[in-house]
Structure 1
Amino acid sequence: MTARTTYLLVDGENIDATLGISVLGRRPQPEERPRWNKLLHHAEVTWDQPVKGLFFLAVGDSLPSGFVQALIALGYKTIPLRGEGKVVDIAIQRTAEALVSRPADVMLVSHDRDFVPQMQELASSDDRRTALVGFREFMASDLQEIPGIEFHDLEYDVAAFTSRLPRVRIIDIDEFDPLEFI
């Protein structure tokens, strides 16, 4: 492995909301949520370097201790935030801006267009790898249009789910398997 690091910036609320509202049409059950350890592993093997997983979450006056402890046990640094506005977005934006001056690669786990300026800046560097992780069909088009940015599907590439999700996606004919549908 190299001395370079991948920063995995996880917008947990965005992923949970997209999964619940857009994919399942209801609140996800615990067994339907992503296996966050698989995401860390995917990032590490994909770019063959150490990963620092930063998991951002908005909290009120109490910490979701069980969830936070589980993330810490998996190897994430949890960043519980509170305040006015979209605190998770603000924190991820600030983190991405701070990473511009560091020799590091960045994977953003979110579908949110609020991160376009920061991801454009990160992707503009010739010696930095950048990627988006999520569900392509729900990814902000502005994010997908950033030159040089990779895309990793949370279900198909990362294999972060224990069962198949009820998604409708465009299938390249070379990948079409009729057995999935009959």
Structure 2
Amino acid sequence: MSVQERKQRERADRERLIVTTARQLAEQQGWDAVTTRRLAERIEYSQPVLYSHFRGKREIIGAVALEGASELAVAVRAATSAVDGPRARVTALAHAYLDFAERHPAVYDAMFRLDGGLMFAREETPAPLKDAFAALLESLGEVAGDGVEPGLFTEVFWAALHGLATLTPAGRLLPEDAERRVELLVDRLAVF
């Protein structure tokens, strides 16, 4: 291995450490606890080293969001490939999405509530975000109904899931009705 390759590997390892540490700290104490000073202390590098990888907290949030989008796509695809039939796939998709949001609230916030500097629904949208949407579209496109554009239907279904994912943990919806909400969403929006 050349010196240049070793330096590139070490840089990638440091960047990975920064993102992992930010994510862990955010999941434990919330995003307000994630500061460049605290991250530098936790990873045992100076703040200038941290800034050589990310210009600040916004870019770190964006890196966590991209990682989360990749994980969400994997979770959705795994859940939908494990069942047969459109209704089962859409139901599995909804559960996988909501379970992801519940298990990783800080990552979900990075993806959808915080400003990580990422653009959605544009040509310059980063590949992990496009892939997460594609994972939803793969199952939802088949149940959009006649005359309904599959991408638009996926956006509406996703928006409904996002509402459930944010309102439930905020205590705005009764937790005992969670399963009934998913059934209603699937039955009323999807066309089988």
TM range, smaller chain = under 0.3
State which structure, 1 or 2, has the greater radius of gyration over its C-alpha atoms.
2
- TM-score, normalising length: structure 1: 0.28
Tell me which protein shows more strand as a share of its residues. 1
